[in-house]
Structure 1
Amino acid sequence: MDETVTERHFRRATMDDFEHIQENYAKARARMAANGNPTQWGSTFPREEVVKDDLEQGRTVLLVDEEQGQERILAQFALCTGIDPTYVSIDGAWLDDDEYVTIHRLAASGLAKRAAHDCLRWALDHYGNVRIDTHPNNLAMQHILETNGFARCGLVQLIDRDVDTTRISYQRHEW
């Protein structure tokens, strides 16, 4: 029997993954624009230097499988520990002030279903308290977050941009 697809698993990305990660971000930007959300990432976000910094700092996590002997990246995200400066000020309220991790720059490749769900589940299983934000026009991500038990906490303002800065913030704390 020829097994063509292996089980999914997570691993930390390396600089060797950079080109594939960039391709996935380009696909994600195109999908967002096609679904009524052209400004969240525009045509250049995440910037190349941010992606490289995520890789150098060991923040990028990949969901992968293998098809016919070739690894495929199904999704990727930056997992950031510590206090996120963007989340210090919120129009609303976080669920708590406990330690948390933040997911940023989550992008699915489109190669498999439920990849974003699997990424959220992995972060919750490993860290228990997860915060994330998304653009008001990103209805797909809002749906994914809400169906995965994340609570809408309020609005935050991005501090690394001058325009289109409002994001809806979410949190789920399992422990």
Structure 2
Amino acid sequence: MTLSSTGTKAAGRRFRRATMRDLPQMQAIYVRARHLMAANGNPTQWGNTFPKDEVVRDDIANQRTVLLVDHVGGKERILAQFALCPGEDPTYKHIEGAWLDDDTYVTIHRIASAGLVKHAARECITWALKHYGNVRIDTHPNNKAMQHVLETAGFARCGLIQLIDRPTDTTRIAYQRHEW
């Protein structure tokens, strides 16, 4: 299924849902993202194993994974990927701070760029805002690159949340942007 590519910056780029055929390429992008985060002072957000293979497979099976793709030399490339999760996120129920509102929202999780083009993650976030309007996302306090992307994309820093799916290193900075 092809998603509307409205909002993409470069001709030939589009957004589509991931399929299981994309899994090997997606796993390689996550490996690259983990190495990049560690090299930039953020070794614990994803560690060596996040996201777990079963989570990525579940995202694909439930059509939560969205890919930004292009074509070069007749071959499709994944430029970036993210999970777009509709409905209330249980992790966001408790916040040290305050969300902008209690309106319906989508959450972006597990966003990663292949490093093939500049600003691919920002393009994904812009697409989500255009299509869903009210977006929440969180990132590790050490993930300065993602904080910069979110803040320059107009997201408000709403406070701190605690991840509920792991025993340690649970604090995340919570962001929201609502296109009124």
TM-score interval, normalised by the smaller of the two chains: over 0.9
In 2, the alpha carbon distance for the partners of 1:6 and 1:136 equals 35
SS in 2 for 1:117: helix
Return the match for 2:156 from 128, 147, 151: 151
- The offset of 1:44, in angstroms, is 0.1
Return the match for 1:66 from 71, 79, 91: 71
In 1, the alpha carbon distance for the partners of 2:13 and 2:148 equals 23
1:114 aligns to 2:119 (yes or no): yes
In 1, the alpha carbon distance for the partners of 2:25 and 2:111 equals 14
Residues 135-156 of structure 1 show CA distances to partners (whole Å, capped at 9, x for unaligned) of 0000000000000000000000
Preserved CA contact (<8 Å) 1:101 1:131: yes
In 1, the alpha carbon distance for the partners of 2:163 and 2:175 equals 14
In 2, the alpha carbon distance for the partners of 1:159 and 1:53 equals 18
SS in 2 for 1:122: helix
Uncovered stretches (5+) of structure 1, i.e. residues with no partner: none
- Structure 2 equivalent of residue 34 of structure 1: 39
- Structure 1 equivalent of residue 4 of structure 2: none
Please show how residues 58-137 of structure 1 align to structure 2 within 5 Å.
Answer: 58-137=63-142
TM-score (norm 1): 0.96
In 2, the alpha carbon distance for the partners of 1:46 and 1:74 equals 18
TM-score (norm 2): 0.94
Uncovered stretches (5+) of structure 2, i.e. residues with no partner: 1-9
In 1, the alpha carbon distance for the partners of 2:81 and 2:172 equals 20
1:19 aligns to 2:21 (yes or no): no
In 2, the alpha carbon distance for the partners of 1:148 and 1:64 equals 21
Aligned residues: 171
- Matched to 2:176, the amino acid is Q
- The offset of 1:7, in angstroms, is 1.8
SS in 2 for 1:17: helix
Identity across matched positions, percent: 71
Q: Runs in 1 of length 4+ with deviation above 2 angstroms?
A: none
In 2, the alpha carbon distance for the partners of 1:30 and 1:86 equals 26
